C-alpha cells in the first residue's frame, strides 16, 4: 500500500494510472476469494475516496477506475451513480464526476429494459440535472456529455439519446427561474435545433417556454429567433410558416414589457419569403394587435410587414378592416416621428377601403405544426378560433354579435379588433348599430380603448349614408366625453353640429345633454348652447329642445339649477300657445326637480306660478302641473311657510281637476291625490257634486248649531258617503283612476286597524256600521251590501267597488257577513271574478267567505268541468289567492279542485292549445306564492308537491313551460325535489319524465340551494342514467349549458360556489379514473360536462357561430376547453384555485382517456404556465412527457 500511496502522490499521470490499476486488480481478487460486498473492501474505499482528491489527475483516474469496475460487472451501475452523486458536493473535480456520470448513464441505459425512469424532480431527478443544481459552472461539462451521448458510436444509444436526455433539455431550456446563464441555454438550444432526430423535443420545448416576465419573454424570444434562423437555412417551409405568427405574438409581449422588437420584424420579413400563403388571416390579426401598442419608432417596420402580407396572402375583408381601424388612430394623430410610416398607412387604408370581396377559404389553419403551437399561445389560439367563427357566420353575423354582447368584458375586449373590423366594413344598419353598442360597452369599462373607438366612430360618420345609422352613431359620440383626451374632440364635433342649421342644432343640444351625463365638465358648453339657442331661435321646436335639456340638468345636476331659473321663466312666459304646451310642461318638470333639491322653495314658487296656472287650459301642461302637485309632500319646507293653508290650496286645485272634461287631466289629478293622506283632505276641497247629498241636520245630529251651517263648516272629516257620490258622478272614463284613489285610502286605513277588529266571538257582523263614518271601507262595503244590484245605473259603480275590495291589500278587510257577494256575482262576469276573489281572499278569517268559497271548490268534478269553470266562470281567480286557500282549507277540501284543474291544463298542453301556456304559467305562479308561505298547512304543501310531480310525469317541459315550473320546484324542500326527480324510485322511467328530471336537477345543481347535498349529488343520477343514452346525454349537456350561462349572466351569482363545484367535479372525475371499467366508461361524459361548464362560465361559447354547437359537437368542446380554462384563471376570482386545477390537469393527461382529451388537458395546462403557481410545480409538470400529435 505504501507503493500505491507513493505513486498516487507523485503527480505523474503514468504512475498514478499504474497505482489505480493495481487497486482494481486487488479488488477483483478479493471479490473472487474473500469478500462479496465490494463496499467493504479497503482498496475500494480508498479508490472511492480518491474521487475527491485535490489532485485532478488522481480524481479523474479514480473516477475512470470506478467506471471500469462497473463495466467488468464488479459494481452495480445504480450504486455507482448514487455514489458519484453523493460525493458531488465534496469533490473539487466536478468535470471528472460529470464524465463518469455520462458514461454510467449510457451503461445503465444499455442494461435496463424499462426506459425513461428519470424526471426533473427528486427522487427520480436526472443525475445531470443534479450536477447542474450543485454546480452552476458545470454546464459546459454537462453539455459536452450530452453531445457525446447524442453522437455516440453505438447507433442504439444515439437513436435513444433524446429520450435519455429529455429531462435535462427541458430543465435547461424551460426553467422559469432563469438560474442558468444565457450561453448555456443558447448552446443547448443549438444542439437541439441542429440535430436531426429532435423535432418532437424541439416542439415540446417551444410549447413550454414561458413569457410571463420580461426576462423569460426575452429568453423565449431568443430561442425562437435562433430556430427561425436555422429553419431559413434548412429551407423548412412548414416551420418558416409556423414561426411567423409565433414571432408576431412575441412582438406584442415584448412591446408590453418595453423591449425593442426590431430583430423580430426583420426575421418575419425573411420568413415570409419562405412561407406558405395560408397564414394571412392570423398574421394580419397579430399585426393589428402590434400596431395598437407599437411606439412610433417601430411603426414603419410593422406596416412594411402588413404590406407584404396583403400582397402575398389572401386575407379576410373583416380582418383587413380591423387593420384599417388600427391605422385610423395613427392618421388621426399625425407625428413627425413616423412620417414615412404614415405614408404607407394611408396607402394601406385606401387599398383596404377599396376592397369589397373576401377570400373564399374556410379560415381553418391547415398547418399542423402551427395548430400544435397555437395550443401554447393564447394570442394564436384565440385568433384561430375567432377566424374560424368569422368564416362560419355566413350571413348570420347579427346573432353572433348578440351572443358576444353577453360575454364577460374581458372576452369582449379580446374581440375588440374583430368588432372594429365588422363595424368599419358593414353597411347593414342593424349590424353597425349592434357593433357600435358593444364597442361603446368596452370603451366604458376600459378607458384606454375609448380613443381608438372614437377615431373609428368619427371615420364611420364621414362614410355612412343611412340616416338611422348616422343618428345612432352621433348618439354614441357623447359616450366618449368622460376621457380628458377625447373631450375636446367630442366638444368640437358637437359645436360643429350646433352651428350647422336647425335640425342638427337641436340634435346637438340633445347630444350635449348626453355628454353631461358622462362628464360634469360639459356643463359650461351646454349652458352656453342653451342661452345662445333661446336667444336666437324662438321656434317651438327650439323651446322644447332647450326645455328637455334644462329638465335633465335640474334632475341630475341640480347644483346648476339656479342659473337656469331665468331660462325656465322665459319658457313659461313665451310658450303660451298650443305648440308651446310641451315646453311649458317640461319647464314645470324642471321646477319640480329644483324644489325637490331645495334649490328653490315650492311655497314661493307657487305664489309666482298660481296666477298663470289658474288660467291654464292646455292638457299637457296641466298633467305636468298635477305631477308637480304629487311631489309636493316630499319637498322640504321653510318654517315660515303657511304649510296647511298651502296644502289645502293645492288639494282644492287637484279635486277641481278631477271633474275636468279632459280625462287625461282628471286621471293625472286622481293619480296626484294618491300622494296625500285622507286626513289632510278637507271636505271643502271636494267638488260640490261629490258632497251635494250631505244634509248636516239629519245625517249628523248633535254637530249642528245652526241649520244654515254648511257641512264643510261643521265636519272635520270627509264622510264616507262622499266617495260613493264621487264614483257615481265622476266621468266614467276615469272611474278606475277614482277607484285607485280609494284603494290608496283603504290601504292607509287598514294599516291603522288593530288585530282585534278581526275577532268576533258572537259571529260575523251583518254590516260595517261598527266602523266610523269617515271610513272608506264602511262606505264601499255598505254600498255593496245595500245597493240595488238590479239597477243598471248602479252596476258600473258596483263593479268598481268590487274591484276596490278585491285588491290584494297587505291586511285583510275587516269582518262582515259576506253573503251579499252571492248577489253581486249575478251582475256580470267581471263582478263574479271580483266577488270570488274577495271571498277566497277572506276565507281564513271569515266563516261566510269560507263557506261561499267551499261551494265553488266543490264544483270541480271532472277535467272538462274544470275547464268551463276556470275560463268561462272566471274561477281562475281562485288560483290568485291559492296561498290564502292553503291556509284556510285542509288538503281534502282543495285536492279535487287542484287535481281536476291540473288534469284539464295537462290535457290542453297535450293538444297544443295556445291558451295552455298562459294558464299553466298562472297556475305555477300561484304555486310559487303558496309554497313561499310559511303558514300554509303542511298537508297542502305535500299536496302541491304531488301536483308538481304529476306535471313532471305528464308534461314535456319544453322552454314554454320550464321556467315557471322550475321556479315553483325551487320552493320545495330538497328531499322532495330529490325524491320526485330520482329515476331509481320511479315505477317506470319514461323518456319524457327523465328529460324533465334532468332539466330540474341540472338547474338545482348550479344553485346554492341547500346544505344537505353538494351540487354534484344532484347530477350523479342523471349522468348515470344518461351515460348509456346519447340522446339524454345531449339533453343533459343542453340543460347544463343553459343553467351555467344564466348563472354567469346573474350579477348576484356566487362565484365561490361555482369554484367549489368545479373542484368537486374534477375530484369526482379523478376518482372515476381509479374505478372499474364500467365506471370508467362515464369519464368521457363527465369530461364533456366539465368542458361545457368551464366554457360557459368563461363565456367562450359566445364565440361560436351557433351556441348549440357546444352540446352537439365534441370537437368544439375539446377545442374551446383549454382557452376557456385559461380565460377563467386570468380572472382574479379564480386565481385561488389555479394550483389545484393545474395539478388535476397534469394528472388527467396521464390517465386512460382518449388522446383528444389528453391533448385538451395538456393544452390547458400549457396555457396556464404563465400563472405564479406554475413556478412552484414546474418540474413536476415537465417530468411528464408532452404528447406531440403526429
Structure confidence by residue, pLDDT tens digits, 753-789: 888 888 888 888 999 999 999 999 999 999 999 988 8
Kindly give the residue spans of alpha helices, DSSP state H, lying in 730-775. Answer: 735-751
CA–CA gap between residue 968 and residue 945 (Å, rounded) = 9
Task: State the average pLDDT over residues 142-154.
Answer: 90
CA–CA gap between residue 747 and residue 741 (Å, rounded) = 10
Which position has the higher pLDDT, 40 or 1105?
1105
Cell readout for 899 is 287535481
Task: State the average pLDDT over residues 300-318.
Answer: 94
- Placement of cell 241649520 in the chain: 707
Percentage of the chain lying above the pLDDT 90 cut: 57
Does pLDDT of 956 surpass 50?
yes
Q: Identify the top-confidence range among 377-391, 1046-1060, 1062-1076.
A: 377-391
Confidence of residue 621 (pLDDT cuts 50, 70, 90): very high
Structure confidence by residue, pLDDT tens digits, 524-543: 999 999 999 998 888 899 99
CA–CA gap between residue 419 and residue 325 (Å, rounded) = 10
Structure confidence by residue, pLDDT tens digits, 1109-1156: 999 999 999 999 999 999 999 998 899 999 999 999 999 998 888 889
pLDDT of residue 696: 59
Does pLDDT of 1013 surpass 80?
no
Does pLDDT of 698 surpass 50?
no
Does pLDDT of 871 surpass 90?
no
Does pLDDT of 44 surpass 90?
no
The secondary structure of residue 161, as a DSSP letter, is H
Task: State the average pLDDT over residues 978-991.
Answer: 86
DSSP 3-state assignment of 125? strand
Confidence of residue 709 (pLDDT cuts 50, 70, 90): low
pLDDT of residue 907: 87
Q: Give the pTM.
A: 0.86
Q: What's the sign of the alpha-carbon dihedral 596, 598, 603, 604?
A: negative
Structure confidence by residue, pLDDT tens digits, 344-384: 999 999 999 988 766 666 667 778 889 888 888 999 999 99
Confidence of residue 1010 (pLDDT cuts 50, 70, 90): very low
The secondary structure of residue 860, as a DSSP letter, is -
Average pLDDT, the chain: 88
The secondary structure of residue 868, as a DSSP letter, is I
| Residue 623 · residue 672 · CB < 8 Å | no
pLDDT of residue 394: 67
Across 1001-1076, the runs of DSSP E, i.e. the strands, are none
Does pLDDT of 1 surpass 70?
no
DSSP 3-state assignment of 119? strand
Residues 6+ apart with CB under 8 A from 336: none
Write out the H or E segment, with its range, that includes residue 104. helix 94-111
User: Is the N-terminal amide bond of 123 cis, ω within 30° of 0?
Assistant: yes
- Nearest-Å Rg of the Cα atoms of the chain is 43
CA–CA gap between residue 736 and residue 1047 (Å, rounded) = 41
Cell readout for 251 is 412582438
pLDDT of residue 368: 86
Does pLDDT of 693 surpass 80?
no
| Residue 1022 · residue 1036 · CB < 8 Å | yes
pLDDT of residue 114: 59
Residues 6+ apart with CB under 8 A from 918: none
- Read off φ and ψ for residue 1010, nearest 5 degrees: -165, 175
Cell readout for 8 is 498516487
Does pLDDT of 697 surpass 80?
no
| Residue 287 · residue 245 · CB < 8 Å | no
Residues 6+ apart with CB under 8 A from 728: 797
CA–CA gap between residue 688 and residue 866 (Å, rounded) = 49
Does pLDDT of 1052 surpass 80?
no
| Residue 789 · residue 823 · CB < 8 Å | yes
Task: State the average pLDDT over residues 264-276.
Answer: 95
Confidence of residue 60 (pLDDT cuts 50, 70, 90): confident
Does pLDDT of 211 surpass 80?
yes
pLDDT of residue 1055: 66
pLDDT of residue 704: 47
- Burial class, 30, CB count within 10 angstroms (exposed 0-12 / middle 13-18 / buried 19+): middle
Percentage of the chain lying above the pLDDT 70 cut: 94
CA–CA gap between residue 874 and residue 829 (Å, rounded) = 7
pLDDT of residue 165: 93
Structure confidence by residue, pLDDT tens digits, 179-201: 888 999 999 999 999 998 899 99
Q: Identify the top-confidence range among 528-542, 618-632, 788-802.
A: 618-632
Which position has the higher pLDDT, 629 or 36?
629
Which position has the higher pLDDT, 92 or 707?
92
Which whole-number Å values give the CA distances from 953 to 782, 1021, 1040, in the listed order? 49, 17, 21
CA–CA gap between residue 1002 and residue 1004 (Å, rounded) = 6
Cell readout for 760 is 268576533
Amino acid at each position: 500500500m505504501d507503493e500505491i500511496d507513493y505513486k498516487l502522490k507523485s503527480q505523474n499521470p503514468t504512475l498514478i494510472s499504474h497505482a489505480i490499476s493495481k487497486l482494481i486488480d486487488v479488488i477483483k481478487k478479493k471479490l473472487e476469494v474473500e469478500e462479496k460486498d465490494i463496499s467493504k473492501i479497503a482498496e475500494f474505499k480508498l479508490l472511492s475516496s480518491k474521487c475527491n482528491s485535490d489532485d485532478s489527475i488522481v480524481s479523474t483516474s479514480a473516477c475512470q477506475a470506478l467506471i471500469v469496475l462497473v463495466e467488468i460487472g464488479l459494481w452495480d451501475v445504480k450504486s455507482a451513480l448514487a455514489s458519484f452523486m453523493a460525493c458531488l458536493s465534496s469533490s473539487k473535480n466536478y468535470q471528472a464526476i460529470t464524465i463518469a456520470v455520462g458514461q454510467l448513464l449510457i451503461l445503465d441505459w444499455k442494461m435496463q429494459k424499462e426506459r425513461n425512469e428519470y424526471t426533473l424532480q427528486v427522487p427520480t431527478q436526472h443525475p445531470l440535472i443534479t450536477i447542474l443544481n450543485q454546480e452552476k459552472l458545470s454546464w459546459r461539462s454537462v453539455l459536452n456529455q450530452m453531445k457525446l451521448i447524442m453522437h455516440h458510436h453505438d447507433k442504439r444509444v444515439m437513436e435513444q439519446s433524446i429520450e435519455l436526455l429529455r429531462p435535462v433539455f427541458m430543465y435547461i431550456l424551460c426553467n422559469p427561474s432563469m438560474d442558468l446563464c444565457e450561453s448555456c441555454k443558447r448552446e443547448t438550444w443549438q444542439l437541439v435545433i441542429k440535430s436531426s432526430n429532435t423535432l418532437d423535443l424541439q416542439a415540446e420545448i417551444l410549447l413550454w417556454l414561458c413569457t410571463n416576465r420580461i426576462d423569460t419573454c426575452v429568453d423565449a424570444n431568443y430561442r425562437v429567433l435562433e430556430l427561425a434562423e436555422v429553419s431559413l437555412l434548412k429551407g423548412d417551409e412548414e416551420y418558416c410558416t409556423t414561426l411567423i405568427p409565433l414571432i408576431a405574438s412575441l412582438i406584442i409581449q415584448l412591446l408590453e414589457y418595453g423591449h425593442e422588437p426590431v430583430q423580430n420584424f426583420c426575421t418575419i420579413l425573411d420568413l415570409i419569403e419562405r412561407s406558405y400563403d395560408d397564414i394571412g388571416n392570423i398574421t394580419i390579426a397579430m399585426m393589428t394587435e402590434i400596431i395598437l401598442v407599437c411606439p412610433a419608432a417601430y411603426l414603419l417596420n410593422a406596416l412594411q410587414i402588413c404590406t407584404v402580407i396583403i400582397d402575398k396572402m389572401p386575407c379576410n375583408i373583416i380582418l383587413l378592416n380591423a387593420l384599417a381601424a388600427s391605422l385610423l388612430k395613427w392618421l388621426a394623430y399625425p407625428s413627425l416621428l413616423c412620417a414615412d410610416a404614415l405614408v404607407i398607412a394611408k396607402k394601406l387604408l385606401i387599398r383596404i377601403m377599396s376592397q369589397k370581396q373576401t377570400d373564399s377559404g374556410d379560415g381553418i389553419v391547415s398547418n399542423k405544426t402551427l395548430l400544435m403551437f397555437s395550443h401554447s399561445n393564447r394570442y394564436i389560439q384565440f385568433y384561430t378560433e375567432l377566424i374560424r367563427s368569422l368564416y362560419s357566420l355566413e350571413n348570420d353575423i347579427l346573432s353572433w354579435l348578440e351572443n358576444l354582447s353577453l360575454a364577460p368584458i374581458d372576452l369582449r375586449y379580446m374581440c375588440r379588433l374583430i368588432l372594429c373590423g365588422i363595424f368599419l366594413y358593414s353597411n347593414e344598419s342593424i349590424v353597425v348599430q349592434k357593433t357600435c353598442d358593444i364597442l361603446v360597452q368596452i370603451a366604458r369599462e376600459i378607458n384606454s380603448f375609448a380613443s381608438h373607438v372614437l377615431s373609428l366612430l368619427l371615420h364611420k360618420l364621414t362614410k355612412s349614408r343611412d340616416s338611422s345609422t348616422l343618428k345612432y352613431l352621433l348618439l354614441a359620440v357623447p359616450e366618449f366625453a368622460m376621457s380628458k383626451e377625447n373631450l375636446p374632440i367630442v366638444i368640437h364635433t358637437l359645436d360643429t353640429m350646433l352651428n350647422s342649421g336647425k335640425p342638427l342644432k337641436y340634435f346637438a343640444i340633445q347630444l350635449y345633454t348626453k355628454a353631461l351625463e358622462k362628464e360634469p365638465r360639459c356643463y359650461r358648453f351646454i349652458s352656453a348652447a342653451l342661452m345662445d339657442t333661446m336667444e336666437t331661435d324662438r321656434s317651438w321646436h327650439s323651446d322644447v329642445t332647450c326645455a328637455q335639456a334644462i329638465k335633465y340638468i335640474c334632475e341630475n345636476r341640480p347644483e346648476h339649477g339656479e342659473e337656469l331659473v331665468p331660462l325656465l321663466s322665459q319658457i313659461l312666459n313665451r310658450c303660451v300657445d298650443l305648440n308651446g304646451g310641451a315646453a311649458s310642461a317640461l319647464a314645470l318638470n324642471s321646477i319640480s326637480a329644483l324644489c325637490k333639491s331645495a334649490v328653490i322653495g315650492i311655497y314661493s314658487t307657487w305664489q309666482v306660478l298660481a296666477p298663470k296656472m289658474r288660467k291654464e287650459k292646455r292638457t299637457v301642461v296641466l298633467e305636468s302641473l298635477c305631477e308637480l302637485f304629487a311631489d309636493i309632500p316630499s319637498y322640504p319646507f321653510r318654517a315660515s311657510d303657511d304649510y296647511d293653508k298651502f296644502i289645502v290650496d293645492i288639494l282644492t286645485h287637484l279635486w277641481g281637476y278631477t271633474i275636468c272634461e279632459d280625462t287625461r287631466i282628471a286621471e293625472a289629478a286622481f293619480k296626484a291625490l294618491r300622494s296625500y293622506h285622507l286626513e289632510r283632505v278637507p271636505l271643502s276641497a271636494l267638488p260640490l257634486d261629490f258632497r251635494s247629498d250631505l244634509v248636516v241636520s239629519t245625517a249628523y245630529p248633535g254637530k249642528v248649531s245652526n241649520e244654515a251651517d254648511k257641512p264643510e263648516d261643521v265636519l272635520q272629516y270627509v264622510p264616507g258617503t262622499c266617495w260613493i257620490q264621487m264614483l257615481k258622478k265622476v266621468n266614467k272614463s276615469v272611474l278606475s283612476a277614482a277607484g285607485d284613489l280609494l284603494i290608496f285610502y283603504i290601504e292607509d286605513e287598514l294599516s291603522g286597524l288593530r288585530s282585534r277588529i278581526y275577532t268576533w266571538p258572537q259571529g260575523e257582523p251583518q254590516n260595517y256600521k261598527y266602523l266610523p263614518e269617515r271610513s272608506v271601507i264602511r262606505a264601499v262595503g255598505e254600498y255593496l251590501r245595500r245597493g240595488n244590484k238590479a239597477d243598471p245605473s248602479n252596476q258600473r259603480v258596483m263593479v268598481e267597488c268590487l274591484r276596490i275590495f278585491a285588491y290584494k291589500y297587505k291586511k285583510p278587510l275587516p269582518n262582515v257577513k259576506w253573503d251579499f257577494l252571492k248577489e253581486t256575482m249575478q251582475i256580470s262576469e267581471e263582478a263574479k271574478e271580483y266577488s270570488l276573489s274577495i271571498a277566497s281572499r277572506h276565507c281564513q278569517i271569515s266563516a261566510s267567505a269560507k263557506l261561499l268559497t267551499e261551494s265553488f271548490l266543490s264544483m270541480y268534478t271532472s277535467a272538462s268541468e274544470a275547464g268551463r269553470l276556470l275560463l268561462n266562470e272566471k274561477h281562475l281567480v281562485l288560483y290568485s289567492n291559492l296561498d290564502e286557500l292553503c291556509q284556510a282549507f285542509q288538503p281534502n277540501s282543495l285536492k279535487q279542485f287542484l287535481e281536476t284543474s291540473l288534469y284539464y291544463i295537462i290535457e290542453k298542453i297535450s293538444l297544443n292549445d295556445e291558451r295552455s301556456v298562459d294558464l299553466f304559467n298562472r297556475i305555477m305562479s300561484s304555486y310559487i306564492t303558496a309554497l313561499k308561505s310559511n303558514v300554509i298547512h303542511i298537508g297542502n304543501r305535500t299536496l302541491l308537491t304531488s301536483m308538481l310531480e304529476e306535471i313532471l310525469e305528464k308534461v314535456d317541459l319544453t322552454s314554454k313551460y320550464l321556467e315557471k315550473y322550475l321556479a315553483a320546484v325551487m320552493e320545495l324542500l330538497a328531499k322532495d325535489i330529490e325524491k320526485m326527480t330520482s329515476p331509481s324510485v320511479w315505477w317506470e322511467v319514461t323518456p319524457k319524465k327523465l328529460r324533465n328530471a334532468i332539466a330540474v336537477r341540472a338547474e338545482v345543481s348550479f344553485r346554492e340551494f341547500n346544505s344537505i347535498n353538494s351540487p354534484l349529488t344532484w347530477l350523479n343520477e342523471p349522468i348515470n342514467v344518461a351515460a348509456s343514452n346519447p340522446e339524454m346525454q345531449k339533453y343533459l349537456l343542453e340543460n347544463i349549458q343553459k343553467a351555467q350561462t344564466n348563472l354567469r349572466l346573474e350579477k348576484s351569482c356566487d362565484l365561490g360556489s361555482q369554484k367549489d363545484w368545479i373542484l368537486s367535479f374534477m375530484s369526482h372525475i379523478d376518482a372515476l379514473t381509479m374505478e372499474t371499467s364500467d365506471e370508467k366508461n362515464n369519464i368521457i361524459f363527465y369530461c364533456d360536462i366539465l368542458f361545457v361548464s368551464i366554457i360557459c362560465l368563461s363565456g367562450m361559447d359566445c364565440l361560436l357561430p351557433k351556441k348549440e354547437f357546444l352540446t352537439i359537437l365534441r370537437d368544439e368542446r375539446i377545442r374551446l376547453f383549454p382557452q376557456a380554462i385559461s380565460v377563467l384563471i386570468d380572472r382574479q376570482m379564480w386565481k385561488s384555485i389555479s394550483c389545484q386545477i393545474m395539478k388535476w390537469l397534469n394528472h388527467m393527461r396521464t390517465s386512460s382517456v382518449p388522446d383528444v382529451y389528453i391533448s385538451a388537458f395538456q393544452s390547458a395546462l400549457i396555457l396556464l404556465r404563465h400563472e405564479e403557481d406554475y413556478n412552484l410545480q414546474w418540474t413536476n409538470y415537465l417530468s411528464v412527457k408532452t404528447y406531440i400529435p403526429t
